[in-house]
Amino acid sequence: MTSRAATRAREAATLLFVPGDRPERFGKAMAAGPSLVVLDLEDAVAPDRKEYAREQVVAWLEENPECAVRVNAAGTAWHDEDLTVLRRRRCTVMLPKAEPATTRAAGEQLGVLPVVIALVETARGVLDARETATVPNVQRLALGSFDLAAELGADPADRDAFVAARGALVLASAAAGLPGPIDGVTADLENEAHLTDEVHYARRLGFAGKLCVHPKQVPVAAAALRPSREEIRWAQSILDAADAGGAVAVGGQMVDKPVLERAQRVLRQAREGNGR
């Protein structure tokens, strides 16, 4: 049976990070309406605030287990303790620097209750994404574009530099039977048109979610992930034609099984109100 946490992780369209050492922001993050709030113990928290952040996150999870937690990466001084305190909690764990070996090890430490979103942000992680996607407990892949950009010596805003990485995550997710992956952060917090364009681009490639770092990005990303009116009209026309029975064509396009499945997926996305 699929757990509620696994369902949330698989269906999440917008994921909003909030620093783990800023508990006064936790409720505000949830009020922004993302699919999933990610309490961050990693990049957003200074080393001397790690233990305090962990205490605040654990306390919040007592009443709000539907949140996710980004733990510190394997090899850091805080990683094992992060996993230990989350082991018996029915939350989603976002695992940074995810590669097959570290993801398997984290899964063994976490046990059967938490589910994992594997944040792929290294060159090795991208090349081995297909294996990571098959690790038990992994329900979703996500792209950590900024850390990957630093390793590659590329600009994280350069789409051409990340075509291969994005494609690898889309293919790995599909091959493992996972939903479309989650695209990385857009750093520009003021330009809504740019964010919308970034999400549309990722969605065309097969992504089905977006990492957000500010509440104002959530509604913009959510809207960009939804099927357009034109897509919905097309999908409904395909289903109407299929209901008529027999071999049919719509707009000069044969309606076969793959076309019908795509139309059904578009209408399902429209009903659910997200980009999955």
Task: Please tell me what DSSP assigns to residue 68.
Answer: E
CA dihedral 41→45→46→47, nearest 10 degrees, is -10
Q: Which residues are annotated as a binding site for Mg(2+)?
A: 121, 147
Q: Which residues are annotated as a binding site for substrate?
A: 70, 121
Contact 185, 149 (CB under 8 A): no
Residue 153: count other Cβ atoms within 10 Å of its Cβ: 7
Helices (H), the chain: 4-11, 26-31, 50-63, 79-86, 100-110, 123-127, 129-132, 145-152, 163-175, 192-205, 217-225, 229-243, 257-272
Q: Which residues are annotated as a binding site?
A: 70, 121, 147
Residue 152: count other Cβ atoms within 10 Å of its Cβ: 17
Give one DSSP letter per residue of 134-195, joined into a string.
TSTTEEEEEE-HHHHHHHHT--TT-GGGGHHHHHHHHHHHHHTTPPP-EE-----SS-HHHH
